[in-house]
Amino acid sequence: MQYEHITHGFPPVYEENSRILILGSLPSVKSREQQFYYGHPQNRFWKVLAAVTDDELPQTTEEKRAFLLKHRIALYDAIYECDIAGSSDSSIRNIVPTDLKPILSAAHIAAIFTNGGTASRVYKKYHLPVTGIEAVPLPSTSPANAAWSLNRLMTEWSLALESR
């Protein structure tokens, strides 16, 4: 297994009107190439959010950024720096967490959600002691999470986001 040291290469998306913060683990290889979140064509993140918000599926980076801000969603990752093999969350080691203070000071975040088990574990270990805000864990939208169909993801994410 070939490890690479990765530093998160692009900023979070948020503004003062953001009310929900969604945290992934770390950008995938495709996302790092595109310099934006959930760039792998098989990742279901954007499809799930479009369905949950009853909005059109954003295509470009600009549309995705505008979509998030329109729906008052802040988006970032729990990991700022680590060693990883490819895009495999299970290979992650030597974690340096992201700094969530700028988002939490600028926006009135009412709820934090984690996209997948790794993001949830990293949040609990590194971020919860700092923020004091419990995060709601959601099933990963990654194509590696084949146990969850698109419809099942949409239902679970919808129930969680609507309850906040």
In the predicted model, what is the mean pLDDT of residues 79-90? 91
For residue 115, the enclosing domain spans 4-162
pTM: 0.95
Q: What's the structural domain count of the chain?
A: 1
Residue 115: active-site member: no
| Residue 98 confidence class, pLDDT cut points 50, 70, 90 | very high
In this predicted model, what pLDDT tens digit does every residue of 26-52 receive, in sequence order? 998 899 999 999 999 999 999 999 999
**Choice among 43, 94, 115, 151 that is catalytic:** 43
CATH value at residue 140: 3.40.470.10
Residue 164: the pLDDT is: 62
Taking Cα atoms as reference points, which of 124, 147, 5, 141 lies closest to residue 75?
Answer: 141
Query: Mean pLDDT across the chain, nearest whole number?
Result: 95
What are the b/e assignments for 102-119, b being 16+ CB within 10 Å? ebbeebebebbbbbbbbb
